[in-house]
Every structure is written in C-alpha cells, then in structure tokens.
Chains A and B, each alone.
Chain A
Amino acid sequence: MTTLHVNGRAYQVAVEDDTPLLWVLRDTLGLTGTKYGCGIAQCGACTVMIDGTATRSCQVPVDSVGNADIRTIDAIEEDPVGRKVVEAWVAAQVPQCGYCQSGQVMAATALLKQTPQPSDGDIADAMTNLCRCGTYNRVAAAIRQAAG
C-alpha cells in the first residue's frame, strides 16, 4: 500500500511501486483530467503539480512521490492562481480539441505561482507542452492576461 496526497486528500493505493503516477491518477483514482499523450515526458499532457512544481506524471514512479502534495487539473479551481488561469483560458478561448490543455493549465499555474509576472522568456522556458492544434500563441496570451 502506498499513500498518496492528491488535491488535499489522502488515498491508499495498491499498485506496483514502479507504476507511473499518471496511471494511478487515471485508472486507480479515476482522476481522468490528467491525460496520457506520449508516456515519455515529451508532450506534457500529463502535467501535474508536485509540491508546486510542474511535473510530467507519466515519468514519476508512484513510490518516488512520498508525502508530496500532488495537485491535478481536476481540482484546479480550488487554487486561487489556478482559478485565474482558467478564467484567462476561457477569456482567450484557448482550447480547440482541448486534449493537451489540462497539462497546459497545470504548467501555466505552476509558472505563475513561482513567477507571478513572467517574461516572454519565462513563458518559453516553462511552457514546453506540445499542442497539435497549435494554440501556443493563445496560451501565451492567456498567461499574460492571468498575470495581470
């Protein structure tokens, strides 16, 4: 049994130690807002915050998480910065197919928590998530708007 702290709740999960956090979130806990895109930390669709840092959960073995505070898109609106990001995403009409946007919103929230007024360079460095619909410019615009 492993204990995970996800969105402020503790969960007991019985999975192999090397199971990626992504699959524990999705299949064991039913938190399907976090997406599987590539499984090799290239695309960022699986981004969650672990102790406030944007992390690609497909490459995080569940036994490496310990007591860390895991935050997922499913509870994003409980976070004041996350709420601002979501409102900016809606205002800028960012998503198209939407599949990558869970990860984009998580990465943007983590960025704004650490750097409330990010420069274009900060955005470029932090927002490496792939989007096949090419919403990159709107993502950046929404981050600037959320930063106020």
Chain B
Amino acid sequence: MDRLLTAAPITLKDPLDLRSEARSAVALMTPDGVSNLSRRAFLGFGASALVLGALLPPMPVRAQTAAAAAAVKPGSRIPAFLVIGKDNGVTLLSPFVEGGQGINTGLAQIVGEELDVNPARFTVDCAPPGPDYAVINGLRMTGGSFSTRSSYPLMRRLGATARDMMIRAAAAKLKVKPESLTTEDGVVLHAASGKRLSYGELAPVALALPPRDDVALRDPASFRYIRQPVARLDVRAKSTGKAVYAIDQKLEGMLYAAVQHAPNQGTTVQSIANEAAVAAMPGVHSVHKLPGAVAVAADSWWRARKAMETLSVAWTAPAATGLDTVATDYASDGMLAALKSSSGAGLPAESEGDVAAAFAKAAANGAKVIEAEYDAPYLVHGQLEPPSSMARFNPDGTLELWAPNQMPELFQSVAAQAAGLAPEKVILHSPMLGGFFGRHFLYGSANPFLQAIQLAKATGRPVKMLWSREEEFRMDALRPLSHSRFRAALGADGRPTAIQARTVGEGPLGRWFGAVFKDPVDSSAVEGITEKPYAIPNRRMEYVKFPHPVTIAFWRSVGHSMNDFFYEGFLDEIADAGGQDPFALRMELLKDKPRHAKLLETVAAMSGGWKRGPYEVNGTRRARGVSMASPFGSETATIAEVSVQGGETQVHNIWVAFDPGSIVNPAIVKSQVESAVALGLSATLFEELVYKDGVRQSHNFDDYPILSRRSMPAVHVEIVESGAPMGGVGEPGLPGVPPAVVNAVAALTGRHIRSLPLAKTRIGV
C-alpha cells in the first residue's frame, strides 16, 4: 500500500453534469452552425433526402464553411489516411471504429478498388482525433448506420486520388508520360519497358505531391472488390484470441482499478467505514472517493475488485419521490403509468390530410374505430466486453487515453475539459470494440474514462479502470422505455382511412444532442411511427416529450427498435378489425410504392409464398407474421414463423428481404442483418430492465437473459439492390423482427401482444 487517498484530488464535475458538457463540446465541434439544422437535413437519409456522400465532391457550401474554419477539408489530405510502407503494406487510418460491423473490411474494399490494392493487404486502424476525419458533413462518429453510406464516394475518391499520385511519381521517376503507365495491385507498370515500381517505393514522393481533385473514378462495371463477399480482415485474429480490445491493453507501471457505484443514481459517497482496513489488503494501492462511486486501485484487477467489494460505504439518500431524479420510489412501471397518463400537448411529428374530419365521418357512418396502447421496456446494451479505459499522464504534459468510443473528437474534448488541458494535449486511442450497439457514445456517468483520468491524476500512475459486469448493469445507459397510443378509423372496405398516434417519452438524440438538433420533435423518439410508406390518407402522429430521470441511450436501431413494433403491430390489429389479411392489406397500401411492394413480394417468395396460418409442422401449430420498416435509409420486409410451446414463443424461421439501395460487401451485409435479427429477437422475447424502489432489478446475465442458441431461429436474408441512394446496414435488420414475431403470435392465438418482452406474458394457444 503506497498511500491512501480519500478526497478527490482534482475537481471533476459530477458526471451527471456532463450532459451539458457534452452539449457544449458538440457545439465546439460544429463551427459551421450545423446546430440549426434538423437531424433529417443534417444526417440526410431516405430517398428524397440529402445524401451526404453524394455531395463530395464538390463540397457542399456548409461543409466548405466548416472546412474553412478548420482549415482542413475532411478527406482531402491523403497522407492523413494512407500509410504505405516499404514492404508495400497499406495502412488505412479510418474515421470509423470497428466493433463487429465490418467497417474496416468495407473501407479496405472501397479504397482498394480505386487505389488498385487488394483489400486483403490492408491494415485498418481507427484514426486519431483530427479534422481530416470529420467526413459525415463536418462531424465524425460511428453510428446511425452511417459509416459506409456517408463515406463511400469520399473513400473512392481518396483511393483514386492516391493512385493518381503514385502514377505521377512513377512517371517523374521513369521520365515517361503518366498516360503510358498502368497499375496492378500496388505496383505501377510501364508496359513499354516492362519496368515496375511498387507503391511502397513510390510512397515517400507520391504522397507528398499535391493531390488532383478531378481524377476519374473506376467504372463500376469493372469493380473487382466492391460488391464482392471479400473475407473480413479481422476474422482470423478474432478466431485465435489475438484481437486486442480495450480490456486487453496494458501499460508499463499500470494500476488496475475497480469501482462500485452508488446504488441509487444521483447519490454519492457519505463515508467509508473500513477504508484503512481495505487499503491494507494485498496489492491495494489506494482507495478513492469519486463522484457517485468508490474505487480501489491495486496491482491486479481481481485484488482491486475484492477490495472494492469489501468497502463498507454509506451513500447519501436519494430524493424520496418525483421524476426529476431517480428517486427512492422510482419504478419502471410507475414511469410507464406516468407516460400513459401524461396530458402534455402533442407536437405534430407527422400530419397529412384531415384526421379529425376522418374520425368524425367514421363516427357518423358507424364505421369501425379501433384503439390500442403499446409499450416497450428499458434495455441494456449487453455488449459482451465490459467497459474499461486506460489513462496515463505523460511527462510532456499530455494525457494519453485509451477509451472505447464512437466519437473520438467529442471524447477528446470532454477528457480535456475534465483534466484541465487543451484538447490537443489529449492523445486519444480508440480501440476495437467488443460489441457496441450504441453503448459507446458519450453518456455522462455511464462512461468509465473520466474515472480512469481521475485515478491516473490522483495516483501519478497509469490506470486501467474496468467495470465489472454488475457495475455495467448498474450504470449502462438504457434504451428508453416508451409508450404510444394509436387510433384508426376503418372504411367500409375494411381499409384504414385515418391513423393517429401519440408517443410520450424521450429520445437519446434530444437528450445528448439537443443543442445540435433543435427540432422540438425528437426524431429518435418517433422514428418508425413517422414516415411509414402506407397510403393511409389521413395521419396525425404526435410527440410529447417526457424526460426520463435515468440515463438513456442510443441502442441498435434507436427509436425504430420499438416504434416499428408499435406501428406494425397495430397495423395487424387494423387488418383483423377490417377482416383483411395483413399481407394483402400491406400490398394494397403499397400499390403506389414499387420499392416497398417488391420487397414484400420478395420476402413472401423467400418464405415459399405468403401463408399466415395456423398450419401444422411436425405436430406443432405454426403461424406467420409480416412487417415492414424503413430504418436508416434502408427498407426491410420481414416474415417470422412461430409456434407456442408451454406458453413460450418459439421462433423457427425469420426471412428478411433487405434493400439498402446498393452495397459494398454482400457477405458482411448478410451477417449484419442476421446479427440485427438476433438482437431484435432477444428484445422481443426476453429483455427488460426493470426499476423498482429506485434501483435496477437486473445485475448480470443470470437475471437479464439474452438470446441464446436455444432460441436462435434459422435466418434467411436476401439483398435487393434497388439502386436507391445507399442506406444503412448495421441497424435496419432489427426493427422488423419484433412486429413480425408478435403478429405471428396473433395469427396463432388471436391475441395481439402490445407490451414487450413476450416472456412476461403467458401465451395460450
């Protein structure tokens, strides 16, 4: 035991205050005034919307302004992206972080296609913070299923421009005309003389040349790597334990730290009864009080953890009641009741036609009107790598930080504020992520890196802070619980004439990026209820903001993860009320939407033709449900086949027809859809994070079951390339799954389940 530290030696604000810190940091990152754009205009997806990547080049005015402010045009400086060694190996510094979605391989394909280097010879690393990498319209992040679609044209141009630099350098060296040269997998060839110069030889001169901005791109008809199922670059390392994640890293002289957070979020340490005794435990270096937590630093993580668990801590008391904080009586069912009973005025998220007149007409005609309430619970991310971060103060005054993150510049900025340094004094490394699903955005007290910084400062040693799985369950930012109330009027033909929805809750976009996206209607709260493709003439979708006291998060497919369940579940209720087959009704409502209709036909064909059931297979009764979703610029049609055994839903098959417009790697696209299906099914069947008495009721995977092999269905994916603007891939496979499964259960049982997960409802057949 070297020393005992009982007071926080540097002034860090309470992590809960970082909400506003994050907002100011985002504002700092967007000198062009992006803050006045709506999310839709900024992030721009959907067939009719701005497609970011297609604007590069020429650069859009807004980005030019940003570039002028930053004096760097993102994506324009080739040496910031490409390092070509003497061995002719190519390292690509990526704006994005790899966390399983396959972006490293996809980027190698795109750049390699134009550079003329086999992607298999690429090494792809996440680039350090810097203005060169702000390729999403002046912003850098890995999320929103944006990486490929936002950077595809830019990355092609980058590769083509670099290849041109290689050719010009070779022409100068060989004293021949550039037109007489060709390339072949990292080599410049002069056919007339038979001379060959490798990119590695040429790179020192070539990459210093001024880049041309008018280099012709390759004809897509001649693509060799793009659109091919190129093998992932990281698969062998990940199959042999050699892939290195944040948790695996180690620094010379490093201390390991374990932490215990306050049981009630928002409370903090009052006193520690046995501090001296714990400080004397084997290997313990020091005991620390942190905002809302106590931590132990030791010479191994296990010793730190044991000591941490031995601490006898008195915590301050939470507020007794109310929804401004996580109070003593806070409960998720109470929160749901509050959302349901909210009388807040709804802001229009989507309006079309005259809903009031349509319902009045229905009432006058005695037509059918149906209503239903849907809800979905809080969820944790459950990525298998528990969060950790390493921090080291270097002798030169810099802070070096290894932190899982989806926004390097934002983390750098917040780390700098916390440590009292200028941002450029923070060297941030962004390690490969052992799953993320939205986990590693900046979520205030839900990220461990500030604790690592604080302990490194306090101990004068490099520190790795690792959260146990239990601490992760206590602190993870949650997919918000949400609620929507629907109402529909049916015409005499059984088809809907009007639909209205009232969604009460809060989305992560408004919570964490409210200063940037000022639209009072939080798109992340209503997406999946708005912008549905169906021809229902009168629509009014309302949003009522109702802030949660708990930390909320982006979670794979964000608002779509529940809203498409709500909408598509209710659409099946409309179909049943109107005596329509749910597939036929969707086809009818999409007859003027050829892209959607084709997708619906495709998924039906994949599954052997639409049949709702019930029908018998091997002595069990099965039925099918169908759904559609339009998430992240892509389109999906999904069919699920289920049976019910012992009151539990068993899913046998899921078919997904997936149209992301166009693709880079069909194998990775299919893997991503399979993966999204699995996570969507996990949420449909099992997952629910319950608050009771102000604390979370799940602590680990034993009391928060996630999808296991036993419940994994066969998943069938077909990619449809409609040629529409490129959409996202990582998230869109998810939203169709919950409604397809629930609609199948309704086909089997006659009961429309309106509240997830299915595990809490005993289903009769």
Q: Which residues of chain A have a CB within 8 Å of any CB of chain B?
A: 15-16, 19-20, 23, 26-28, 30, 32-40, 42-43, 45, 72-74, 76-77, 86, 89-90, 93-102, 105, 124, 127-128, 130-140
Contact = CB atoms under 8 A, between A and B. Distances in A.
B435 interface: yes
A142 to B, nearest CB: 9
A37 B244 contact: no
Residue among A96, A131, A132 with most chain B CB within 10 A: A132
B610 interface: no
B384 A130 contact: yes
A40 B256 CA distance: 20
A35 B241 CA distance: 9
Contact of A134 (B242, B383, B433, B674): B674
B700 A38 contact: yes
A42 to B, nearest CB: 4
A137 B244 CA distance: 25
Nearest to B682: A134
A96 B675 contact: yes
Interface stretch (B45-53, B94-102, B514-522): B94-102
Nearest to A129: B709
Residue among A28, A97, A99, A136 with most chain B CB within 10 A: A97
B385 A33 contact: no
Interface string B370-410: 00000000000011111000000000000000000000000
A85 to B, nearest CB: 8
B679 A77 contact: no
Contact of B241 (A34, A43, A132): A34
A71 B99 CA distance: 27
Tell me if A's interface is mostly helix, strand, loop or mixed.
loop
B492 interface: no
B133 to A, nearest CB: 22
Nearest to B714: A137
B707 to A, nearest CB: 7
A20 B248 contact: no
Question: Top 10 nearest A-B pairs by Cβ distance?
Answer: A134-B678, A33-B241, A98-B238, A97-B100, A99-B434, A73-B241, A96-B100, A95-B238, A32-B248, A89-B239
A97 B384 contact: yes
A133 B469 contact: no
Contacts of A133: 100, 435, 675, 678
A90 B700 contact: no
A27 B256 contact: yes
B701 A130 contact: yes
A20 B242 CA distance: 22
A45 to B, nearest CB: 6
Interface in B607-644: none
Nearest to B472: A38
Contacts of A77: 240
A127 B712 CA distance: 12
B708 interface: yes
B468 A39 contact: yes
A136 B100 contact: no
Nearest to B701: A42
A32 B301 CA distance: 13
B243 interface: yes
Contact of A76 (B101, B241, B256, B435): B241
B723 interface: no
Contacts of A124: 709-710
B239 A105 contact: yes
A99 B435 contact: yes
A96 B100 CA distance: 4
B245 interface: yes
A91 to B, nearest CB: 9
Given A23-B302, A98-B100, A86 B236 contact: yes
Nearest to A139: B709
A122 to B, nearest CB: 12
Given A86-B236, A96-B100, A33 B242 contact: yes
A15 B299 CA distance: 11
B702 interface: yes
Interface string B256-267: 100000000000
Interface string B712-756: 101100000000000000000000000000000000000000000
B234 interface: yes
Nearest to B667: A93
B680 to A, nearest CB: 9
Contacts of A28: 300
Contacts of B675: 96, 133-135
Contacts of B434: 35, 97-99
Contacts of A140: 709
Contact of B239 (A23, A36, A94, A136): A94
